[in-house]
A and B are shown apart, each in its own frame.
Chain A
Amino acid sequence: MAYGASILSGSGFVQLDSTTTNSGLTVIDSGTISSSGSINFKKSTQFLFCRPTSTSTTSIALVQTSANSGGSEAVQTYEIRNSSGSRVAVNYVLGQFSSSLTANTTGYGIQIFNSDGDLAFDSEQYNGDGGFGLTDFAEAGTFAGFYNFIDSDQTKYTLMNGTFGNSGTGFNSFIGVVYTGSSASSLYSSGTGIYYLGYLNIFNGASYFPNWGSIFLGKGGSV
């Protein structure tokens, strides 16, 4: 290590690392998106994690409702919709990679910069929205698409960036997750929990489709 700070947990997982171009995911916002609400964020620098507020079985995926220039590298407006195209209410945690944050020049706490001179960590960027701890990961292509079990803990949030929904009602293509609520039908072979569901509407038939983005699950609040 030539310079800077590298902090690992006892299991060897990186907490902070300024020796590379690493930058940590900082929670900049959290709260609830209502069933009539939306959220603005930039996919290229921000990760949006959601879970349904409902205790009934609810599927969720991201639906883009704006078309600002710049595509996913620009701020866009998104809603959370279920597999039928209806908007649903969710709790969310929005994280932003600190390299795209502006370092505070006054205040308190700890700041670490990476080898590019970008902010790797700034404790003062946290402003009451808690942290985010990763608990589950699945590589792109891990799941076949038909109600694949991910985890049983429905208090966990799911990364929405790689999901895809449709605003039209009726039968749509859907790449997302399902929270079963407190009871689960026979579709859910591992009982209650969080399942991956992915299918494309091809000639009015469902062609089940693998997760095309990495799936991250985690917990917000005090971590």
Chain B
Amino acid sequence: MANYNVDCRVGLGKGQTAVFEVNGNAAGVGTTSSNPLDVNSGDTITFRRTTNSGGDAQVSQLNNFTNNANMVLTVSAPNVTRTTSTTGLDTVKLVNAGGNGNRTDYYYINVQSSNSGPNAFNIPNITNASLSTQYESSSVQITGITGTLTASVSGQGSPQLEVNNNGTWTTSASITNNQYLKIRLTSPSGNSQSHTATVTVGGQSDTVTITTIPTSGQGTDTGSANAAYGLEVYDVNGSTKVLSPSTRYITLMQEPSAVTISAGVQTTVLQNMTGLTTSNSTLTFLDWANLVVTVSRVSNGFQLTNSFSSGSYTVYPLIVRF
């Protein structure tokens, strides 16, 4: 069961504005008929007066709601009314009761008493992210939904969600049973920092955290892989897993072969860099070439520079993905 807060803001004086707000935003969910607040049977909606509100906004006839805390309720002057239309879309009408009563606003609620679910879900966190970069999460199938629910996301890093890979990124969308959900958000601008977004579907929520790579000079925990997909292979005893989706593995992308670099010269070890980042790949050497050779990433591979001022040096680079 979910709890929702809806604020009523009323200006001072006769004829002043009277509006419903969501998180201080008069254009939020529920403030237009095309974007109603989807609630399930048993959900609690609390109508509240916001700080600094003036006037005498009054509400009444909200018997279907279970919590009237903070409401200014004057039964004899039903300045806020709830009506149920034939389409199932309820409206709550707020009238500024400052004497004129001629400034009104509406709040739209879609009661979905037949909807329920979903089962608990978990969108994997994102680790070792580059700075100030937008990342997409894995897709997660949402199960256990009856009817249609609203999926929403809020938090840090301007999070958005996408349902069933439909190409539309938004902060709120309808979702039905067995559809897939993923989010995207932007990583923080500093090292070892996190942004957190909360994804809510019906009565279930999940928190997704994106964490940036550590500052140079620290080790990087490569983290565990997601165990939901992939291949399992067992050792000869039938119980020891030698390959499973929950573990990260080392694969060799280029075997070592001799590269001779003259002093002060750069050469590139060609490599398709698609999908390769500092978090999942590296070029290393058989021996101690890093004493004299520096490595940098370029679009078509790894660039090696002989930092010595004279002579040439032969190195044996190998490229590893993990």
Contact = CB atoms under 8 A, between A and B. Distances in A.
Nearest to A108: B236
B244 interface: yes
B235 A128 contact: yes
A165 to B, nearest CB: 13
A interface, size bucket: 35 or more
Nearest to A141: B290
Contacts of A131: 235, 240-244, 247
B286 A73 contact: yes
A218 B247 CA distance: 10
Contacts of B247: 131, 133-134, 223
Nearest to A196: B219
A218 B322 CA distance: 12
B252 A99 contact: yes
Interface stretch (B29-37, B147-155, B221-229): B221-229
A10 B222 contact: no
B248 interface: yes
Contacts of B218: 138, 142, 149
B254 interface: yes
Contacts of B220: 136-138
Contact of A16 (B231, B236, B285): B231
A20 B253 contact: yes
Interface stretch (A21-29, A84-92, A181-189): A21-29
Interface residues of B, number: 57
A14 B233 contact: no
A216 B248 CA distance: 12
Contacts of B290: 140-141, 210, 212-213
A11 interface: yes
Interface in A143-170: 143-144, 148-151, 161-162, 164
A99 B256 CA distance: 12
Contacts of A214: 282, 284, 320
Given A14-B321, A73-B316, A135 B222 contact: yes
A151 B219 contact: yes
B41 interface: no
A177 B221 CA distance: 16
Contacts of A73: 256, 286, 316
A191 interface: no
B167 to A, nearest CB: 20
A212 B295 CA distance: 11
Contacts of B278: 139
Contact of A137 (B256, B282, B287, B316): B282
A158 to B, nearest CB: 11
Q: Quick one: which of B219, B221, B246, B248 has the most chain A CB within 10 A?
A: B219
Contacts of A22: 251-253, 321
Contact of A9 (B226, B237, B285, B288): B226
B272 interface: yes
Interface in B274-304: 278, 280, 282, 284-291, 295
A132 B250 contact: yes
B255 A97 contact: yes
B138 A10 contact: yes
A164 to B, nearest CB: 7
Given A9-B229, A72-B287, A136-B222, A15 B245 contact: yes
A123 interface: yes
A23 B252 contact: yes
A126 interface: yes
A13 to B, nearest CB: 5
B245 A9 contact: yes
Nearest to A131: B242
Given A126-B235, A131-B241, A142 B217 contact: yes
Given A127-B236, A136-B220, A223-B247, 20 more contacts: A7-B230, A13-B249, A15-B231, A22-B251, A47-B250, A71-B286, A99-B255, A127-B235, A129-B235, A130-B235, A132-B250, A133-B248, A134-B249, A137-B219, A140-B284, A151-B219, A212-B290, A214-B320, A222-B235, A223-B244
17 contacts: A15-B231, A22-B321, A44-B256, A72-B256, A97-B251, A97-B252, A97-B255, A99-B255, A126-B236, A130-B235, A130-B242, A131-B241, A137-B322, A140-B285, A151-B221, A212-B291, A222-B241
| Minimum-distance CB pairs A-B, first 8 | A10-B226, A133-B247, A131-B242, A9-B225, A212-B290, A72-B286, A150-B219, A97-B252
